[in-house]
A = this chain, B = another copy of it.
Amino acid sequence: MGRTLTYPKQPSNTVNRYKHRATYDLQTIHTIINTTQVLHVSFPPGPNTPFPAIIPMIGQMGSHAYPSSGPDEPLDCYLHGYVSSRIMNLARESPDGLPVCIAASKVDGLILSLTPNSHSYNYRSAVLHGYASLVEEEEEKVWAMRLITESVVEGRWEGSRVPPDRAEMSSTVILRVRVVDGSGKIRDGGVSDEKKDTGNEDVTGRVWTGVVPVWETFGNPIPDPGNRVAEVPEYITRFVEGMNEVNSRYAREAVKVPLPTEEQH
C-alpha cells in the first residue's frame, strides 16, 4: 500500500496547460525516462550565444547509494551518449553541477478529430531538472555503464566483452544528474470534439474520426559480417519480441475503445 512519492511542484516544473494530464508521480516519470531510447538534454546558453543547447543522450534512472531502489523512489539520472566536449567541460567546471533539463517524449497515437484544432497525439512525456556532475569514482562509473548498457538490451552487459579495460574507462564519460524536480504528462483515449461539430451531420457524415496507434518496432536482428556466433542469443530475441508486444499493446490499448477481434492479441 504505502504512499506514492511525488516531485514537489515548483514554478519550473508545474504544468499549466491541460493540468488534468499532468503527473508528479515518481514511478510514472522515471518509467517514461527509462523506456525512452533518446533523452533530450538542454543546458543554459554559454557566454557567446543567446541559445540554449540540446543534446540527444542515452540515460537511465538509478541510485548508486541504494542500488535496489525501485522506480518509485528518489533516483539520479545517469547520462552517457553523444556527449559533446562542451557539456562535459561545463559540467567539469561547475562545482555544484551544471543545471540541465532532461526531456523524454513518446508518441502513442495520432488523434484524428473532426477539426484540425481538436487533433492531438496520444503521448507520454516527462521532464526532469537537476544538476549534472561527472562521475569520477571508478566503481560507480562501471556500475552506471552497466545500468545504461542493460537499459538498451537486458542481458547485453554479460553478453558482451566486459569489464571495460583501462583505455575504455578513461575514454568513457558518465554524468550523474541530481534531480531536484520533475513532471510528466500523459494523454490517452480517443477523439474529443466540440458539440458544434459532433452535432453537425454535414461534418460527421463526411469526416472520418479515430486514432492511428503509433509505436516503436524492433526488427529482426541483422548479424554483422564479422559475427562468429551462429544463433542470435535468446536474450536478444526475447528483448525484440517482448518490446514489440509491449509497445504495440500499449499504443492500441491507450485508445480505450473496444478493439476489433483481430487486434486484441
Q: For the complex, is A37 an interface residue (Cβ under 8 Å from B)?
A: yes
Contact for A191 among B217, B224, B229, B255, CB less than 8 A = B224
Asked whether A40 and B40 contact (CB < 8 A) given A113-B160, A145-B116, A209-B227, the answer is yes
Give the distance in Å from the alpha carbon of A193 to the alpha carbon of B168 in the complex: 12
A164, A208, A215, A263 interface centre (most CB from chain B within 10 Å): A208
Asked whether A54 and B115 contact (CB < 8 A) given A207-B229, A219-B248, A222-B257, the answer is no
Closest to A180 in B: B51
Residues of B within 8 A of A145 (CB): 116
A49, A102, A164 interface centre (most CB from chain B within 10 Å): A49
Give the distance in Å from the alpha carbon of A205 to the alpha carbon of B123 in the complex: 42
Give the distance in Å from the alpha carbon of A119 to the alpha carbon of B248 in the complex: 26
Give the distance in Å from the alpha carbon of A102 to the alpha carbon of B43 in the complex: 13
The answer to whether B105 and A56 have CB atoms under 8 Å apart is yes
Nearest chain B CB to A32 CB, angstrom units: 11
Q: For the complex, is A143 an interface residue (Cβ under 8 Å from B)?
A: no
Give the distance in Å from the alpha carbon of A197 to the alpha carbon of B11 in the complex: 50
Which positions in A face B, CB cutoff 8 Å? Answer: 11-12, 15-18, 37-38, 40, 42-46, 48-56, 58, 82-86, 99-103, 105, 107, 110, 112-117, 119, 121, 123, 125, 127, 129, 145-146, 149, 152-153, 156-157, 159-162, 164, 168, 171-172, 185, 190-191, 193, 197-198, 200-201, 203-229, 231-233, 236, 239-240, 248, 251-252, 255, 257, 259, 263
